Amino acid sequence: MSTLKETLRKKIEEHRPRTTRLVKEFGDVKLGDVTISQAIGGARGIKCLVTDISYLDPMEGIRFRGKTIPETFAALPKVPGSDYPYVEGFWWMLLTGDVPTMEQTLEVVEDWKKRSQIPAYVIDVLRALPRDSHPMAMFSAAIVAMQRDSVFAKNYAAGKFNKMTCWEDMYEDANELMAKLGPIAAYIYRMKYKGDTHIPADPKLDMGGNFAHMMGVDKPYDDVARMYFILHSDHESGNVSAHTTHLVASALSDAYYSYAAGINGLAGPLHGLANQEVLAWTQNFMDKLGGKVPTKEELEKALWDTLNSGQVIPGYGHAVLRKTDPRYTSQREFCLKTPGLKEYPLFQLVSMIFEVAPDVLLKHGKAKNPWPNVDAQSGVIQWYYGVTEYDFYTVLFGVGRALGCLANITWDRALGYAIERPKSVTTAMLEDAAGIK
């Protein structure tokens, strides 16, 4: 058994009594009340999900296993010659809560390499889809197609389901997926946008390095990939992709069904697709100005035009955050320290939006959070490195988001979380509760 799986087993065994005790002895303790606006308004703020993988503080932003983004980057073993850590080591940290040693990290690197071959039938599925399908539809189809290889589903069908050990099957499926998602994403990219020419994996490289290599993008795009996947990995449990994955998994659906569902949620414009929309908005605006960086007045007018036409300013606002997203800040810092990017006109425009948009949104008076989220910054980096096909950006998000979603559902199985089934009420019941005659 791998060291990671063995470490995880110990962590699970240590953790289980905490959950059991909470339910048995303190099950009636209240966490809050639910208001009518929460019931109608997307369950915002209702505390009814449990995860230890990450926690989102509205003012501070995300912590992965208790660590802020800078702490995470500083703590994890780095790829030799790179400023950024191994994605594989981060996976270890999300699953176990511990920072792995270099040796432990390299064990995951080797494990994923062995699992990374894309099955031929997945290539067939991708090639059978109309070439103008959205890359997220392709990505989702590839994931769900691999369900036939689910260890969890096979053992369940064979009557081998055991509540105490079924996390092991989820763990296997999760690792298979993690190892294959990067190569699948790169395959979709090159099939759709690079004349259907493909680059085989380099067995010497880690997951992030191989992704950049298979995309056909030179250094430091490997670091961009590592940074990007880690930053997009998890944002606690209530966001659409994480929650959908958890919800579907709660029916004992396997990791393939569950994460394909999560990907379908990520594809929405209010969630992962926002990064594509940010770039479309920014590029269209620059095109209208003939490619020059606008003045602040021109920018302010364009932002108001967007709001007045009933659209949102993509990349701004958040359901939980009430400050600038540290994932935005981290990517901005990457731009500021990377020669060429700092002076890049598109980055200058994105920076100017950061100066102008919050005030516009405050004056507009609707958005509870006028500050940028992760999506406001990510597209410009991709564009700079030549990945200009912005339809593809949400697929990149989806490769990263798998880390959090799959770590979460492995723990869901380990702790025996129940099938999710919130209660609904009718409008008449709400009117009764409100005392409306």
Residue numbers of the site for ligand AMX (CB under 6 A)?
Answer: 239, 270-272, 274, 307, 312-319, 366-369, 373-375
Q: Retrieve residue 80's tokens.
A: 């030799």
Closer to ligand AMX at the Cβ: 97 or 268? 268
Mark whether 134 is an active-site residue: no
Nearest to 80 by CA among 275, 223, 184: 223
Pick the catalytic residue: 111, 169, 234, 375?
A: 375
Mark whether 271 is an active-site residue: yes
Instruction: Tell the smallest beta-carbon distance from residue 58 to ligand AMX (Å).
Output: 11
Beta strands in 44-151 (DSSP E): 54-57, 61-64
Q: Are 372 and 357 in contact (CB under 8 A)?
A: yes
Closer to ligand AMX at the Cβ: 34 or 129? 34
State whether residue 67 is helix, strand or coil: strand
Instruction: Tell the smallest beta-carbon distance from residue 408 to ligand AMX (Å).
Output: 16
Nearest to 233 by CA among 218, 247, 245: 245
Closer to ligand AMX at the Cβ: 108 or 405? 405
Instruction: Tell the smallest beta-carbon distance from residue 306 to ligand AMX (Å).
Output: 8
State whether residue 63 is helix, strand or coil: strand
Instruction: Tell the smallest beta-carbon distance from residue 184 to ligand AMX (Å).
Output: 21
Instruction: Tell the smallest beta-carbon distance from residue 239 to ligand AMX (Å).
Output: 6
Pick the catalytic residue: 111, 318, 325, 412?
A: 318
Closer to ligand AMX at the Cβ: 155 or 276? 276
200 prior amide bond cis, ω within 30: no
Closer to ligand AMX at the Cβ: 330 or 373? 373
Q: Residue 24 contacts by C-beta under 8 Å, 6 or more apart in sequence?
A: none
Instruction: Tell the smallest beta-carbon distance from residue 241 to ligand AMX (Å).
Output: 8
Q: How far is CA 342 from CA 221, 316, 334, 336, in A?
A: 16, 21, 9, 5
Instruction: Tell the smallest beta-carbon distance from residue 272 to ligand AMX (Å).
Output: 5
Q: Retrieve residue 11's tokens.
A: 């962590």
Closer to ligand AMX at the Cβ: 182 or 314? 314
Helices (H), 27-96: 36-40, 69-75, 87-96
Pick the catalytic residue: 232, 243, 246, 271?
A: 271
Helices (H), 272-344: 274-288, 296-308, 326-337
* Amino acid (one-letter) located at 388: T
CA dist 357 and 335 (Å) reads: 19
Q: Indicate the residue whose CB is closest to ligand AMX.
A: 317
Mark whether 318 is an active-site residue: yes
Closer to ligand AMX at the Cβ: 271 or 332? 271
Identify the bridge partners of residue 145 per DSSP, sorted by sequence position. Answer: none
User: Is the dihedral angle over the CA atoms 326, 137, 408, 244 positive or is it negative?
Assistant: positive
Beta strands in 52-118 (DSSP E): 54-57, 61-64
Closer to ligand AMX at the Cβ: 140 or 239? 239
Q: Residue 233 contacts by C-beta under 8 Å, 6 or more apart in sequence?
A: 54, 64, 90, 94, 400, 401, 402, 403, 404
DSSP category for residue 60 = T
Q: Retrieve residue 119's tokens.
A: 């099955």
CA-only gyration radius of the chain, Å: 22
Instruction: Tell the smallest beta-carbon distance from residue 40 to ligand AMX (Å).
Output: 11
User: Which residues carry out catalysis?
Assistant: 271, 318, 375
